């Protein structure tokens, strides 16, 4: 679906398509334990978040140089633009690379090279969001933040991702305080596999402005009332939720109930190379499987721009919203 939209929940490492993985493996002399792209794609069958993360981190072995990160991001931006994405807020996982000996500067400067060119090359504005791995220690997150200080002019926000259950947001209070003091915006994954209490903690302890996923908020009516009252954006990823078995089928997804409740929901693709669809594919899939009308789809697209970190360019936000309003299905 080509309606203009912002992508607010997108892990750049989750856009690594099998073809690019093999090309980078060859360029860098990395052995992949798969004979072909088809065989690799067949491994994309997941029982839960952890089973996906195991493959997601393993495949990152092919990403080594600034050019690799630039090529990865440029390939994503080209695909996103072709599906109506006009603004992309891109997550990256620095610790997944520094742990393999790739310097943080290589990652950030490589991604920035592609992002800087995205407006002219693809007609896409961008922001970069640095995520901490919640299954690593709080000290590691703090060390990562300190190492990122020379690059903070490239980074708009911090986030929190990886294995959720057993790693509550409160573990990362200190690094979020440091990020806030440095003027960064804050988001966090919460309520994907973890309980509604993690959504509350992300808001109350980390001071986040958006919740990534948040679907399990629906189990807690008081929390839903608060999220509706404060219009806290939830960056929902239905194809991911199905592939990681957070919901049984797309037809069972709580997205319509979330919209009916008055929640500020946006539609996102999370790790599109692994979960079967980029932003436009995701709009198509939910429109096909769920009782959503054109008004709902337009509302989801509007929400994506309303929830975007575009406060430093309200003119651009207004232009994007006008494009959504002018869209004909």
In whole angstroms, the minimum distance from the beta carbon of 93 to Zn ion comes to 10
Spatial contact of 326 and 2, defined as CB atoms under 8 Å apart: no
Query: Of 18, 8, 71, which is closest to residue 40 (Cα–Cα)?
Result: 18
Taking CB under 6 A as the rule, does residue 136 contact ligand ADE?
no
The size of the chain, in residues, is 329
Identify the residue among 11, 87, 127, 167 touching ligand ADE (CB under 6 A). Answer: 11
Structure tokens at 164: 């959720």
Span from 31-39, 199-207, 263-271, 273-281 in contact with Zn ion (CB under 5 A): 263-271
Taking CB under 6 A as the rule, does residue 161 contact ligand ADE?
yes
Q: Which of residues 42-71 bind ligand ADE (CB under 6 A)?
A: 49, 56
Nearer to ligand ADE, 53 or 258 (CB): 53
Nearer to Zn ion, 163 or 228 (CB): 163
Sheet containing 125-133: which strands, arranged edge to edge? Answer: 5-11, 85-92, 125-133, 157-161, 185-190, 210-213, 233-236, 264-267
Structure tokens at 182: 């440095």
Select which of 13, 66, 192, 201 is catalytic. 192
Taking CB under 6 A as the rule, does residue 216 contact ligand ADE?
no
Query: Which residues sit in the known binding site?
Result: 9, 11, 189, 270-271
3-state secondary structure of 212: strand
Taking CB under 6 A as the rule, does residue 271 contact ligand ADE?
yes
Per partner kind, with CB cut-offs from 5 to 8 A, the member of ligand ADE, Zn ion, none near residue 201 is none
Nearer to ligand ADE, 3 or 187 (CB): 187
Residues facing 125 on adjacent strands: 87
Residue 163 CB neighbours (<10 A): 16
| Dihedral (Cα; 41, 45, 49, 54), 10-degree rounding | -50
Taking CB under 6 A as the rule, does residue 277 contact ligand ADE?
no
Taking CB under 6 A as the rule, does residue 189 contact ligand ADE?
yes
- Backbone φ/ψ region at 252: left (φ over 0), alpha (ψ -120 to 50), beta: alpha
Identify the residue among 1, 3, 12, 14 touching ligand ADE (CB under 6 A). Answer: 14
At CA 183, angle to CA 177 and CA 184, rounded to 5? 75
Determine whether 192 is an active site residue. yes
Query: Which residues sit in the known binding site for Zn(2+)?
Result: 9, 11, 189, 270
Angstrom distance (rounded) from CA 95 to CA 102:
9
Taking CB under 5 A as the rule, does residue 193 contact Zn ion?
no
Cα 172 to the center of its chain, rounded Å: 19
Per partner kind, with CB cut-offs from 5 to 8 A, the member of Zn ion, ligand ADE, none near residue 241 is none
Contacts with Zn ion by CB under 5 A lie at: 270
| Residues with active-site annotation | 192
Contacts with ligand ADE by CB under 6 A lie at: 11, 14, 49, 56, 161-162, 189, 192, 240, 270-271
């Amino acid at each position: 679906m080509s309606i203009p939209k912002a992508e607010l929940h997108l892990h750049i490492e989750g856009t690594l398509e099998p073809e690019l993985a093999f090309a980078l493996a060859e360029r860098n002399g990395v052995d992949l334990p798969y004979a072909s792209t088809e065989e690799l794609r067949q491994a994309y069958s997941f029982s839960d978040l952890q089973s996906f993360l195991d493959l997601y981190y393993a495949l990152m072995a092919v990403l080594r140089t600034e050019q690799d990160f630039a090529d990865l991001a440029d390939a994503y931006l080209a695909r996103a633009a072709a599906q109506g994405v006009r603004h992309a807020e891109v997550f990256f996982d620095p610790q997944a690379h520094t742990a393999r000996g790739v310097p943080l500067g290589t990652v950030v400067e490589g991604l920035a090279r592609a992002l800087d060119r995205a407006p002219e090359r693809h007609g896409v504005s961008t922001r970069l969001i640095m995520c901490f791995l919640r299954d690593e220690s709080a000290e590691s997150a703090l060390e990562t933040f300190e190492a990122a200080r020379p690059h903070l002019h490239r980074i708009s926000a911090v986030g929190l991702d990886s294995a959720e259950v057993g790693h509550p947001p409160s573990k990362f209070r200190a690094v979020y305080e440091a990020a806030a003091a440095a003027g960064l915006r804050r988001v966090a994954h919460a309520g994907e596999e973890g309980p509604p209490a993690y959504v509350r903690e992300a808001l109350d302890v980390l001071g986040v402005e958006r919740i990534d996923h948040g679907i399990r908020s629906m189990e807690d009516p008081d929390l839903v009332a608060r999220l509706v009252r404060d219009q806290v954006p939830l960056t929902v990823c239905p194809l991911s939720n199905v592939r990681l078995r957070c919901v049984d089928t797309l037809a069972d997804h709580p997205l319509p109930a979330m919209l009916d409740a008055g929640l500020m929901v946006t539609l996102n693709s999370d790790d599109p190379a692994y979960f079967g669809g980029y932003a436009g594919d995701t709009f198509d899939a939910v429109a096909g499987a769920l009782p959503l009308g054109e008004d709902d789809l337009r509302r989801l697209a509007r929400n994506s721009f309303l929830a975007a970190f575009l406060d430093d360019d309200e003119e651009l936000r207004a232009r994007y919203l006008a494009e959504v309003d002018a869209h004909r299905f």
